[in-house]
């Protein structure tokens, strides 16, 4: 169901999985690890009309670099052309907001981790599709996730980065 390019990227990624799972020394925080549009609920407070978002489906919670959830969200939620056009600006905005709250992080460090962690969506799509029962909606969702994240991995030269090239 994947494009030949996405399948080839996923296959090449298996060679660098040991480097990918190695700890990086990034500051750790609470991570959702399945941070995508399907796991956000949007609403309006009836009292004051303010908008809010609630994050649901915390069954894959963990410790990791916070920007990993950003990478996962952007990679899964945006079509490749939109992701390519906005992801650096989105990571820069993420760093700006964290810095304003006193978190010591540079764009270069965040961008490196963003790139390094973007394969998580591809890995999640493959593994989750083996656990969730088959169905038209779930098959389409996992295929879209795997495809988008494989393109993200290829666009950001993640495999060469993990090989140390």
Taking 70 as the threshold, does the pLDDT of residue 70 lie above it? yes
What is the arithmetic mean of pLDDT over 49-57?
A: 96
Top pLDDT among 24 and 73 is at: 73
At residue 135 the predicted structure's pLDDT band, cuts being 50, 70 and 90, is: confident
The pLDDT of residue 26: 81
Please calculate the CA angle 44-47-53 and round it to the nearest 5 degrees.
25
What's the Rg (C-alpha) of the chain?
A: 16
Over residues 23-33, the mean pLDDT reads: 87
3 contacts 147 by C-beta, under 8 angstroms: yes
**Which pLDDT value is given to residue 151?**
96
CB atoms within 10 A of CB 48: 6
Q: How far apart are alpha carbons 96 and 107 in whole angstroms? A: 9
Q: Is the pLDDT of residue 46 over 80?
A: yes
Higher model confidence: residue 21 or residue 134?
21
pLDDT-derived band at 165, boundaries 50, 70, 90: low
């Amino acid at each position: 169901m994947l494009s030949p390019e996405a399948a080839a990227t996923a296959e090449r990624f298996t060679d660098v999985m040991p480097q990918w799972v190695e700890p990086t020394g990034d500051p750790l925080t609470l991570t959702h690890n399945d941070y995508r549009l399907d796991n956000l609920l949007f609403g309006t407070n009836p009292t004051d009309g303010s908008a809010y978002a609630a994050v649901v489906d915390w069954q894959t919670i963990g410790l990791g670099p916070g920007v990993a959830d950003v990478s996962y969200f952007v990679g899964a939620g945006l079509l490749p052309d939109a992701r390519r056009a906005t992801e650096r600006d989105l990571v820069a905005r993420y760093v700006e907001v964290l810095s304003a709250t006193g978190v010591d992080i540079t764009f270069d460090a965040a961008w490196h981790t963003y790139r390094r962690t973007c394969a998580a969506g591809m890995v999640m799509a493959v593994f989750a599709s083996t656990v969730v029962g088959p169905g038209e909606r779930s098959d389409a969702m996992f295929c879209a996730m795997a495809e988008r994240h494989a393109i993200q991995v290829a666009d950001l030269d993640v495999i060469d980065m993990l090989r140390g090239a």
